Structures are given as C-alpha cells and as structure tokens.
Amino acid sequence: MEIAFKILLIIFSLALITVVLLQKGKSAGLSGAISGGAEHLFGKTKARGMDLFLQRMTIGIAAGFFITALIVAYLVKV
C-alpha cells in the first residue's frame, strides 16, 4: 500500500511540474511585477480557454499532491 501511494505521489509531482511549465507567464519580468501585478491580483484580468483549464488543473493536481503527501507521511510514520 505504501509503495502504491509513493508511486502516485511521483505521478502527481511530475504532472504538477508539467502543468505549471505549460502555463504562460503572467507578467513581463520586473516591470510587469511592479506595474501590472496589482491588476492580476485583484482579478481584472480573467483567464479564458486553455489558461483557465490549466489553472483549474493545477489546483486539482496540487490538492491531490498534498493529500497524497500527507497519506505517505502517515504511512511511513506508522
């Protein structure tokens, strides 16, 4: 059982890395972080299409990763 969860954790981690790398950058370097960062923070720019799909997939995979990591940590401790 422990080995299965460890394999699942590796799959989640590789999927999370892939999905994050597929996303576009939200700002253009330091100038975008200073001037345009507030617009994205307060939701004036909305994600559409593939960006929205990748954003939701990132949230789902990250949740699965953290839950699986907690389960593996519990199984290793016990």
List b or e across 44-61, with b for residues whose CB sees 16 or more CB atoms inside 10 angstroms.
Answer: eeeeeeeeeebeebbeeb
Compute the residue count for the chain: 78
For residue 29, the one-letter residue type is: G
**pLDDT per residue over 13-55, tens digit each?**
999 999 999 998 766 555 555 655 555 555 555 668 888 999 9
Question: Which pLDDT score is estimated for 78?
Answer: 84
pLDDT at 24: 83
How far is it, in rounded angstroms, from Cα 20 to Cα 54? 8
Of the candidates 3, 55, 1, the residue with the CA atom closest to the CA atom of residue 24: 55
